[in-house]
């Protein structure tokens, strides 16, 4: 299995993502941002999925959406 990588962060840093995820009221949206942040920190997608209680394909989709369209695509 290949490692997930975020090739375009759209100006978001790990610290900014951590701050933003704390402002989200919906757990589902918070998990999306948290998944992206953890991958940016170097965690494996499988480990992120296990930690958040998600399927690994879901984490992969979140990373792909963020890489392509930024925060707007991630939260859509």
Q: Residue 50 and residue 42: Cα distance in Å, rounded?
A: 15
For residues 1 and 46, the answer to whether their CB atoms sit within 8 Å is: yes
Predicted confidence at residue 3, as pLDDT, reads 83
Provide the whole-model pTM.
0.93
Positions in the chain whose pLDDT score sits under 70? 1
Predicted confidence at residue 2, as pLDDT, reads 72
CA distances to 1, 13, 18 from 31, in Å: 22, 17, 11
């Amino acid at each position: 299995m290949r490692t997930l990588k975020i090739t375009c962060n759209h100006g978001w840093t790990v610290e900014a993502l951590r701050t933003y995820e704390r402002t989200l009221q919906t757990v589902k949206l918070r998990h999306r941002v948290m998944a992206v942040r953890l991958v940016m920190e170097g965690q494996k997608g499988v480990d992120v999925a296990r930690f958040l209680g998600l399927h690994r394909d879901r984490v992969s989709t979140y990373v792909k959406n963020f890489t392509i369209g930024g925060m707007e695509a991630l939260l859509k």
